[in-house]
Amino acid sequence: MELIALSSWDLALCAALVIALAGLSWAMRLGIGRRMLIAAARSTVQLVLLGLVLKTLFEQVSLPFIGLLALIMLGVAGYEVMARQQRRFRGAWGYGIGTVSMFLSSFTITLLALFVVIGVEPWYQPQYLIPLLGMLLGNTMSGIAIALDNLTRNAAERKDVIEARLMLGHSWQQAIGNIRHDALRSGLIPITNAMTSAGIVSLPGMMTGQILAGSPPMEAAKYQLMILFLIAAGTGLGTIAAIWLGSRRLFDERARLRVDRLDESRRS
């Protein structure tokens, strides 16, 4: 069965539902209607532009252009990790911790999938590389943002407890150990829930897209399993790296807690 193309009127009808919801939000004074419309407009522009870029990449496979797009994706994801934290590290650390962690995890897992699991030739085939990297970055970004927000917020709020442990002779790893564990668990909860509910509560996005495109359901299920496992590994590795870098940054070379390295401004 061939894929049924959507017309502009089809998309306009779906967009009208979002506009209606924004109007209902305004009538109920929920205060999110404007943000919802802005988010819808942003997603429209971003996805249309991405579609045009990918169309060009698919027509002429160019490693430099693909690499540039991958770096742009990583850079934006790094900014989003920083922006989602209520208490973030000052200076370049606020942006660098999340970005480096995602680079180490998402790019490594993506290359492993392309070379070993899928075995696509050439390995930088944009049809495979860009969607895989995008899904890994998106999910890893969420896990790292949640974990770092949990780490920095609890470290600032429980400053007295951590310093008391240091005074009792605990190492900095022991003094912040339970906070690090809680941060790691919080970062892994989204992907754990996604794997638990996949196939029963929800039909994952990649599997849905492949089925709509005409792929056999079992083949779509295998690809979705691969993606879930890769996302879990990437999120886990990225979160562990971010928490280790972040918790180390909270202490100086004399193992003193330095919450002054966190930005005091609160952002939701």
Return d(Cα 99, Cα 113) in angstroms, integer.
Answer: 21
pLDDT in tens, 26-62: 888 878 888 889 989 999 998 888 888 888 887 878 8
For the stretch 105-121, what's the b/e string if a residue is b when 16 or more beta carbons lie within 10 angstroms of its beta carbon? bbbebbeebbeeebeee
Cβ neighbours around 78 below 10 Å, total: 23
Q: What is the average per-residue pLDDT within 16-32?
A: 88
Return d(Cα 174, Cα 120) in angstroms, integer.
Answer: 45
Read off the pLDDT band of 251 (50, 70, 90).
very high
- The larger pLDDT score, comparing residue 227 to residue 59, is at 227
Tokens of 115: 């070379």
What is the DSSP annotation of 171-240? -HHHHTHHHHHHHHHHHHHHHHHHHHHBTTTB--HHHHHHHHTT--HHHHHHHHHHHHHHHHHHHHHHHH
Helix (H, G, I), strand (E, B) or coil at 257: strand
Domain boundaries, the chain: 1-60, 63-261
DSSP class of residue 61 equals: -
For the stretch 35-59, what's the b/e string if a residue is b when 16 or more beta carbons lie within 10 angstroms of its beta carbon? ebbeebeeeeeeeeeeeeeeeebee
Q: What is the average per-residue pLDDT within 76-103?
A: 90
Note the pTM of the prediction, 2 decimals. 0.81
**Positive or negative: CA dihedral 174, 175, 176, 177:** positive
Read off the pLDDT band of 196 (50, 70, 90).
confident
Categorise residue 7: left if φ over 0, alpha if ψ from -120 to 50, beta otherwise.
Answer: beta
**pLDDT at residue 268 greater than cutoff 50:** no
Helix (H, G, I), strand (E, B) or coil at 91: coil
